Chain A
Amino acid sequence: MATPSEVVLEVRDLVKHFPLTQGILYRRQIGAIKAVDGVSFDLHRGETLGIVGESGCGKSTLAKLLMALEKPTSGKVLVNGKDIAAAKGSELKHMRRNIQMVMQDPYTSLNPRMTVGDIVGEPFEIHQGVAPKGDRRKRVQELLEVVGLNPDHINRYPHQFSGGQRQRIGIARGLALQPEIIICDEPVSALDVSIQAQVMNLLDSLQKEFNLAYIFIAHDLSVVRHISDRVAVMYLGKMVEVGKDSDIYDRPSHPYTQALLSAVPVPDPEGREQRERIILKGDPPSPANPPSGCRFRTRCWKAQDICAEQEPLLEIRPKSGDHPSACHFAESEDVVHVN
């Protein structure tokens, strides 16, 4: 991890509400899906911030907001200190270059009718001037080599590659414009166990080589721990706990984090009879109508009256173990041993 002063990405009170409409002829807005509802964090140069949480909690929406693929309802995204929403023209283009994304599904995220060379080289078309036309083929071949693909396969089509290789093509494309930040939204979830490790190692070595900052979204908590310097836990559009990986995994203080960690099966049968597990009831409530006060209170075993009345802010608390936790009764505890 680099010196903490070098912040490349600042996110402040970011909100995205999707309108919930009714009626066919005259669409009336009857509410809003609060997909991301007030998220703030910093990302440092060369650092990996992992983001975990159940599906629907807003991880992908957050990723799209950071990529400026969605317009925020309110809040700010600053790249190297500059507001992405206020940027126009060449400045916006330059800022966009600086943040790239690797997606989950290597099967649908690549255009089947384009060659690998066209896919990886496409960013050069969009951002003319990064690589002169004559150099592009060579640049693409270099990128293929960097991600461990055969540069001679530049004229092949996506279907001629395996899932793991396609993910490498996506990564090569993400690297083309030499970004400082890469957002990985479930980059290994669709891959087989034996291939996951290969792609994780690739992401790791690229980070070291190019001093990249990663936002790493995944539902496999042990994969997130392996790659992340810090981890943020999301629930219904909000961050409920954030800290160094050891803060979150060994000293979680928010009941939701504790439940999430305790649900992860441990890949070791020794002593399994003695393991205790917090099993949450039901599913998360709808983000269109989140509970008042603490959003987790409908599933929380520690909930008191105050939890319905007052929203717990994400802050360091007396017993939260030196890292911020959005729980009135935060108390860090080593609940489980997720690797």
Chain B
Amino acid sequence: MTEVLPETKSGGTGGGALLEVENLQVEFHTRAGVAKAVNGVTYSVNAGETLAVLGESGSGKSVTAQTIMGILDIPPGKIVGGEIRFRGTDLLKLPEDERRKVRGEGIAMIFQDALSALNPVFPVGWQIAEMFRMHRGMSRADAKKKAVELMDRVRIPAAKDRVSDYPHQFSGGMRQRIMIAMSIALDPEVLIADEPTTALDVTVQAQIMELLAELQRESNMGLILITHDLGVVADVADKIAVMYGGRIVENASVHDLYRNPAHPYTKGLLESIPRVDLKGQELYAIKGMPPNLLDMPTGCAFNPRCPYRQEKCVTDVPPLHTISGTRGSACHFWREVLDGDAQ
């Protein structure tokens, strides 16, 4: 077992994956100070694979995704370091016109809030068709035909009749389908779904997750699913990257992570799920609050909340240790965590 510093190639990335993010660092320069929103993120996804990115709000999940897509607001954002390799090419070094081609055709993204991501003043069919007009130079008529096809494919009932309707005329679930239609229009190899079902009812969530799984099976896309829902992750993920305070704190296969978490934060999250055999008892709760990016704890960002904390945790930032092939944990005491002896 080797200790690898986050600056170098580290635990959790198999070499040569379809999309590899390595030690990405993004800052926001604000009046209140510099926020290191993404502070060493390393993860990867392959064709046909589902990577779940798990973490509470503010942990840097969306900023990482926006940086991959090249839609980060710069300024106030600033990419300070790291690489984003797509088919081996570092996207951060590409000129903007080549980058634009990757967006949509190589990597596409859907967002939590479909209503604000869609343009309210254009019919949904027109918005889907525009992908084909802009990227494929299709005629209006052909593009519209493709739009109807796509609306059918994402199972919007009576697609032909609804192609000229506006976003507000659709329910939340249907709008999310329209966004999915737009995102898969150009057959991307990687789809990033940023909390695609967080705003939806469980019944509609089940429909959308089933649709995504089906599209993935058909086209063998790599899927990066950003979520804070431990149920959704257990249901669909092949592997998981857990984020805390802008960093990856654990990388693991779905079965390893749920069976035996290697980071105290992951362990705490899993223990705080209400379980029927614990009904009537106090829930396990991680104490304290998520860190303030402008006032991060020294050493390990999780140390004020951690039941495993020792002196070293307050002084030294834990690197992302490689536990085995694709498993990593950014905890000095991952061995003790795996063995389950809290202090």
Write the residues of chain A forming the contact surface with B, with a CB cutoff of 8 angstroms: 54-55, 162, 164-165, 192-198, 200-201, 204-205, 219, 221-223, 225-226, 245, 249, 259-260, 262-270, 272, 277, 279-283, 339
Contacts and interface: CB of A to CB of B under 8 A. Distances in A.
Given A54-B201, A197-B283, A260-B202, A265 B171 contact: no
Contact of A225 (B173, B203, B272, B274): B274
Given A192-B228, A193-B56, A225 B202 contact: no
Interface stretch (B76-84, B99-107, B204-212, B320-328): B204-212
Nearest to B229: A265
Contacts of A196: 272
A226 B280 CA distance: 7
Contacts of A194: 56, 268-269, 272, 285-286, 290
B311 interface: no
Interface in B204-239: 204-207, 209-210, 228-235, 237
Nearest to B258: A269
Given A164-B289, A225-B276, A283 B234 contact: no
Contacts of A263: 202-203, 205-206
Contacts of B286: 194, 197
Contact of B203 (A204, A223, A260): A260
B157 interface: yes
B255 interface: yes
Contacts of A266: 231, 234-235
B279 interface: yes
Interface string B277-300: 011001111110110000000000
Interface of B: 56-57, 157, 171, 173-174, 201-207, 209-210, 228-235, 237, 254-255, 258, 268-270, 272-276, 278-279, 282-287, 289-290
The interface residues of chain A, by DSSP majority, are classed as helix
A265 B268 contact: no
Nearest to A52: B202
Given A194-B56, A194-B272, A279 B207 contact: yes
B234 A272 contact: yes
B279 A226 contact: yes
B235 A280 contact: no
B283 A339 contact: no
A54 B210 CA distance: 19
A265 B232 contact: yes
A10 B109 CA distance: 49
A247 to B, nearest CB: 13
B273 A267 contact: yes
Nearest to A275: B235
B203 A193 contact: no
A52 to B, nearest CB: 9
B173 A270 contact: no
Given A54-B201, A197-B284, A270-B255, 12 more contacts: A192-B56, A196-B272, A198-B285, A222-B273, A222-B274, A245-B279, A263-B202, A266-B231, A267-B230, A279-B210, A282-B157, A283-B174
Nearest to B287: A198
Nearest to A282: B157
A244 B322 CA distance: 47
Nearest to A338: B276
Contacts of A55: 201
B272 A193 contact: yes
A265 B227 CA distance: 13
Contacts of B202: 219, 221, 260, 263-264
Contacts of A200: 274, 283
A194 B201 CA distance: 21
A33 to B, nearest CB: 16
Given A54-B203, A272-B235, A283-B204, A193 B230 contact: yes
A267 B231 contact: yes
A279 B204 CA distance: 9
A204 B282 contact: yes
A267 B283 CA distance: 16
Nearest to A204: B282
Contacts of B231: 264-267
